[in-house]
Amino acid sequence: MDLQLAGKRVLVTGSSKGIGFAIADLFAAERAAVTIVGRDEARLDAARDRLAAHGTTITAHACDVGDAAARKGLIEIAGDIDILVNCAGAIPGGDLFALPIETWQESWQLKVFGYIDLTRLALEGMKTRGSGTIVNIIGDLGRAPRFDYVCGSTANAALIAFTEAVGAKSTDWNVRVFGVNPSGTKTDRVVEVARKRAESALGDPERWPEILSNLPFGRLAEPDEIARMVVMLASPLAGYLSGTVVDVDAGLRHRK
């Protein structure tokens, strides 16, 4: 299936590893011109080299999207992008009494305000040009909040509301804004947490898949599975999708 993405200019934040890299990789495979963004320059360079194997234009930009000036500079450098994918920011776990307000402020500055500001900056140009797509990678706990992940749950809920509000209006300018809510996905960070839980509960970190056996299909989602959903929905083939957030959780929220 031709996703009609060849030559599209795509900017993906948080794309040196994990879900962000998988998204960038699939866009590159579809012959889009991809700009990847991350804070670790060495990891970013390695990601760029891997993506270059697709034979399309790959640009790497080291940037802290938690910084307002850096966000503005990033959009200026990227130019007239066709697709923005916001995927940067990992919020720490912990309940209301475990996390100081400074942790809330720091993590929200990166993910919540980073997404909001980059959406605003990119949308200004897209509105003027009369075309474009913005995808926010959020998280399923925005729908099913947990006390032991209250900072992240609240952040994700805010981004779901933001995405739905902006995406409902952006169609007036022929721009689509939507989100994707992944559930637990097999990234380095998630696997490391599972390994620690397995060591504590089972005495062996290598038994971490057993810790996750109650998940749908008995496993985590693969980054590529999330990426395929994102890239297909960002393509012109899903041209009537905006103002909504798609849950990719295999029904986890509805399991009893």
Superfamily of domain 9-185+222-247: NAD(P)-binding Rossmann-like Domain (3.40.50.720)
Instruction: Please report the pLDDT score of residue 102 as a whole number.
Output: 96
d(C-alpha 129, C-alpha 60), whole Å: 25
The pLDDT of residue 214 is above 90: no
Domains of the chain by residue range: 9-185+222-247, 186-220
| Other beta carbons within 10 Å of 159 | 25
Model confidence at 167, in pLDDT bands (50, 70, 90)? Answer: very high
Residue 169 sits at φ, ψ, to 5 deg, of -90, -35
Q: What is the pLDDT of residues 29-74, one digit of tens each?
A: 999 999 999 999 999 999 999 999 999 999 999 999 999 999 999 9
Q: What is the dihedral of CA 27, 126, 70, 84, to 10 degrees?
A: -20
Which DSSP category does 6 fall into?
Answer: T
- Specify the pLDDT at position 256: 64
- Residue-wise DSSP of 159-170: HHHHHHHHHHHH
> Which sign, positive or negative, has the C-alpha torsion 142, 14, 25, 214?
negative
Using CA atoms, how far apart are residues 254 and 35, in angstroms rounded to an integer? 37
pLDDT of 149 over the 70 cut? yes
Report the pLDDT value the prediction gives residue 255, as an integer from 0 to 100.
79
d(CA 253, CA 33): 36
Token duo for residue 232 = 């297909």
State the average pLDDT over residues 122-136.
Answer: 98
pTM: 0.94
182-214 in b/e burial notation, b at 16+ Cβ within 10 A? bbbbbbeebbeebbebbeeeeeebeebeebbee
